[in-house]
Amino acid sequence: MSFTSMEVAIFGASACAAVCAQYAFIRCGLHGSFTSASWPEATLPDVQELTRVSNLVLSVYERDVTEPRFSDPVPPACVVKSVSYDDTRGQCPPYTIFLDLDARDICVAIRGLHLTHEADYAVLLNNRTGQQRLEDGFAHKGLLQAAWWLLEREADTLKELLQSNPGFSLTTSGHSLGSGIAALLTLLLASSLDRVGDLPPGKLHCLAFAPPRVVSLNLAVKYSDFITSVVLQDDFLPRTALPLQLIFGAALCCEGGSSQGREV
């Protein structure tokens, strides 16, 4: 029994809708906050660190950090390098490297998905489940390539900053698409700390805000000490088990979703 491409696409969209409906029923009927009901409460230092880093991530969205629209003001002296879409040329979303003298920290903050920027979708949809190996597991191909590109471009900058500021920590962070790249950048750094110089144990950490699923379970467990994911209640994207390219491909009716549907 054979099916036309249109029938396969309709079947894929229907299956995706059914999964989403099931998810919505579970999350609305059994509220998402119950998932973490038994977890310990965050400490004051934890919350202060989240607030500090989240403001740096928000500032990446600003046109001018001295006249912020979304974030609290960030001293211009803290900005080491600000990289735009023109600079990344589709390889990675924009990002900023900060030197926070008060917190004794160097932070790489990566912006999230730009809904009107095609290059971000190209990064997001560049993946097939099981296609990209990383160590003894798998990773999202497009986001891993973006993380590699960022590391190759900024390794020397980070090394110079760490050498000039001994004892400082290195934090990676981002929101949405940017948080997935930040998490993978952290994995790459954790497996080869010599790329950025002498970084003591415990001085590398990632704060991922609303992160997508970007690695297989074994890698998530292996590097759990390096990455803290911040999820707001029932936020769909970090909690879903569906691959990113299937979610956005089906929603946008683009190649990432249709190709996945044909495979099914």
Angle formed at CA 212 by CA 211 and CA 216, multiple of 5 degrees: 115
Which residue range(s) make up the domain with 249? Answer: 1-37+243-264
DSSP secondary structure of 79-134? EEEEE-HHHHTTSS--EEEEEETTTTEEEEEE----TT-HHHHHHHH---TT-EEE
Residues 132 and 3 in one domain: no
Dist. CA 114–CA 88, nearest whole Å: 14
Residues 33 and 50 in one domain: no
Residues 252 and 160 in one domain: no
Please return the burial class of 206, using the count of CB atoms within 10 Å of its CB with bins 0-12, 13-18 and 19+.
buried
Q: Is 236 a member of any domain?
A: no
Q: Is 21 a member of any domain?
A: yes
Q: Per residue of the chain (264 residues), what is the pLDDT tens digit?
A: 555 655 545 555 566 666 666 655 555 555 555 666 777 888 899 899 999 999 999 999 988 877 888 888 888 899 999 999 999 988 999 999 999 999 999 999 999 988 777 888 788 887 776 678 788 888 888 899 999 999 999 999 999 999 999 999 999 999 999 999 999 999 999 988 888 887 877 899 999 999 988 888 889 899 899 999 998 877 767 766 555 555 555 555 544 443 333 222
Residues 122 and 165 in one domain: yes
Q: Domains in the chain: how many in total?
A: 2
Q: Which two tokens stand for residue 74?
A: 């960030």
CB atoms within 10 A of CB 160: 13
Residues 9 and 107 in one domain: no
Residues 127 and 249 in one domain: no
